[in-house]
């Protein structure tokens, strides 16, 4: 994966306008959640998935991007409630909000990217004034069926102004795995500025660049992840719009995420954790090109090892399948050029994905209920972030002699 040397930077940072140094190039990649039927498979859009490092604010971001309406269609298949781990996580988030009651009795909570209501439904049950904002109509319908108030829109400064006019100020704006997915962050922060109460908080969770680089999670790079946030780049971005990063909390979710707490500048004393994580990132050199040169060599190592293993197993007549038709699998399958010849099917529990083909690589997605009919010899686990839950659920596979293949941090079998 040889990134093109920047001959006079043709790409500029979306936030500060600084020069972007190209550091990773995964080539042509599809819309990662375009799980469609066979007759539509050739219409799946592709783009060049390349990543740049801003030489001034250090924000890591995609050089090109897939238009949002092509990614977050009404039939966007991802359902956050699809995993016990995720449901528990957001029940804890919601319980904390119910206990702390931002804004008091009549407080108002807005969630950007509310998906199927996995978090907000607990607030709804507790009678807290709330509003989810999510463009994916299918997921929003599920949320509404659980009594959640949803606005089926993209969140930006116009939507924020409309919400403020109708509901008044928000005392908490929460978001998970969404803010890093939105290229027009300037409009997001201006929207938050117009909607948030003077002493309100903007809290968002996103996977952390530190863990991606440390553990080789290259599959966290796909169309939806426009930015790979670090504490330093989020701090710089918040400051650009009159906000201040006042706290950070590390979460194990998705291989390692950070919960960022942002307040209006000067309204709260930053917690010690902010400086601690800035120091960790400095010592980990997350804003240095050399770190990405090493990372890119690791990615190529994984590709070579994974292809060698799958080809060897095939020539030994072993039956190998995939498990978890994750968005992340798009990068692995298309960058490694893995198709139905090496992986005849992928099992997944999401009804919206079953009976479809994986984007680009066109591997059939089958219901996970059929995983045991009959068990394969090996299963390549794309949903490694749910390994504990899946391996417990499928323990009979292992007892029957089946083995899991994992590809991060390196290719190995368990
Ligand atoms: O950032 C994002 C995260 C939060 O969710 C989004 N951009 C899109 C999506 O990413 P993902 O598809 O990589 O998410 P997950 O949670 O890693 O996907 C897990 C997949 O595995 C789902 O398709 C469901 C499937 N699964 C399964 O088949 N059996 C999951 C579990 C727990 C299972 O038991
Ligand atoms: Zn920048």
> Tell me: the pLDDT tens digits for 26-69?
999 999 999 999 999 999 999 999 999 999 999 999 999 999 99
CB 174 within 8 A of CB 166: no
Per-residue confidence (pLDDT) for residue 7, from 0 to 100: 45
Per-residue confidence (pLDDT) for residue 9, from 0 to 100: 53
CA of 386 to the centre of ligand 1 (A): 8
Contacts 24+ apart (CB under 8 A), 162-167: 163/110, 163/131, 163/133, 163/195, 164/194, 164/195, 167/108, 167/129, 167/131
> Could you count the other beta carbons within 10 Å of the beta carbon of residue 396?
11
Q: Which residue's alpha carbon is nearest to atom 32 within ligand 1?
A: 83
Residue carrying the six token digits 């040889």: 2
CA separation (Å) from 312 to 115, 293, 305? 40, 29, 10
Per-residue confidence (pLDDT) for residue 1, from 0 to 100: 53
CB 270 within 8 A of CB 249: no
Q: How many residues does the chain have?
A: 414
The verdict on the CB of residue 348 being under 6 Å from ligand 1 is yes
Pocket test for ligand 1, best of 49, 65, 82, 407 (most atoms within 8 A of CB): 82
CA of 163 to the centre of ligand 1 (A): 30
CB 60 within 8 A of CB 227: yes
Residues of the chain with pLDDT under 50: 2, 4-8
CB 284 within 8 A of CB 300: no
Residue-wise over 267-298: b if at least 16 C-beta within 10 A, else e?
eeeeeebbeebeebbeebebbeeebbeebbeb
Atom of ligand 1 nearest to the CA of 219: 13
The verdict on the CB of residue 82 being under 6 Å from ligand 1 is yes
CA of 78 to the centre of ligand 1 (A): 7
Strand partners, 322: 346, 380
Per-residue confidence (pLDDT) for residue 6, from 0 to 100: 47
| Cα torsion 141, 356, 369, 325: sign | negative
Pocket test for ligand 1, best of 83, 212, 330 (most atoms within 8 A of CB): 83
CB 15 within 8 A of CB 185: yes
CA–CA gap between residue 402 and residue 143 (Å, rounded): 37
Per-residue confidence (pLDDT) for residue 10, from 0 to 100: 76
The verdict on the CB of residue 257 being under 6 Å from ligand 1 is no
Please state the separation of Cα 270 from the chain's center in Å: 26
Pocket test for ligand 1, best of 87, 178, 183, 349 (most atoms within 8 A of CB): 349
Atom of ligand 1 nearest to the CA of 324: 21
Q: Which two tokens stand for residue 329?
A: 């699998």
Atom of ligand 1 nearest to the CA of 323: 28
């Amino acid at each position: 994966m040889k990134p093109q040397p920047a001959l006079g930077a043709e790409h500029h940072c979306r936030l500060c306008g600084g020069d972007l140094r190209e550091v990773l190039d995964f080539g042509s990649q599809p819309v990662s959640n375009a799980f469609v039927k066979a007759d539509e498979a050739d219409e799946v859009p592709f783009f060049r998935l390349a990543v740049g490092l801003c030489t001034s604010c250090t924000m890591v971001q995609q050089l090109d991007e897939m238009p949002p309406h092509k990614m977050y269609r009404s039939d966007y298949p991802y359902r956050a409630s699809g995993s016990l781990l995720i449901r528990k996580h957001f029940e804890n988030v919601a319980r904390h909000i119910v206990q702390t009651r931002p804004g008091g009795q009549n407080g108002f909570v807005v969630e950007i990217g509310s998906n199927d209501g996995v978090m907000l439904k607990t607030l709804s049950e507790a009678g807290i004034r709330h509003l989810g904002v999510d463009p994916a109509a299918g997921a929003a319908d599920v949320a509404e069926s659980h009594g959640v108030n949803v606005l089926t829109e993209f969140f930006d400064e116009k939507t924020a102004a409309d919400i403020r006019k109708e509901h008044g100020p928000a005392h908490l704006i929460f978001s998970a795995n969404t803010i890093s997915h939105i290229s027009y962050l300037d409009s997001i922060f201006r929207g938050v500025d117009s909607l948030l109460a003077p002493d309100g908080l903007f809290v968002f969770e996103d996977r952390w660049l530190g863990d991606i680089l440390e553990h080789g999670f290259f599959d966290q790079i796909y169309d939806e992840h426009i930015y790979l946030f670090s504490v330093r780049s989020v701090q710089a971005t918040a400051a650009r719009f009159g906000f201040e990063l006042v706290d950070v909390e590390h979460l194990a979710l998705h291989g390692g995420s950070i919960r960022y707490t942002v307040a209006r500048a000067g309204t709260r004393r930053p917690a010690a954790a902010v400086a601690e994580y800035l120091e960790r990132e400095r010592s980990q050199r997350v804003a240095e090109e050399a770190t990405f040169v090493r990372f890119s060599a690791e990615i190529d190592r994984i590709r070579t090892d994974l292809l060698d293993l799958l080809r060897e197993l095939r020539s030994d007549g072993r039956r190998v399948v995939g498990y978890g038709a994750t968005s992340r699998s798009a990068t692995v399958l298309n960058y490694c050029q893995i198709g139905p010849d090496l992986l005849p099917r992928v099992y997944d529990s999401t009804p919206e994905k079953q009976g479809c083909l994986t984007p680009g690589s066109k591997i059939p997605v089958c219901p996970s209920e059929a995983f045991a009919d009959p068990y394969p010899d090996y299963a390549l686990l794309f949903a490694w972030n749910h390994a504990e839950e899946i391996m417990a659920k499928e323990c009979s596979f292992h007892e029957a002699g089946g083995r899991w293949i994992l590809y991060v941090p390196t290719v190995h079998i368990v």
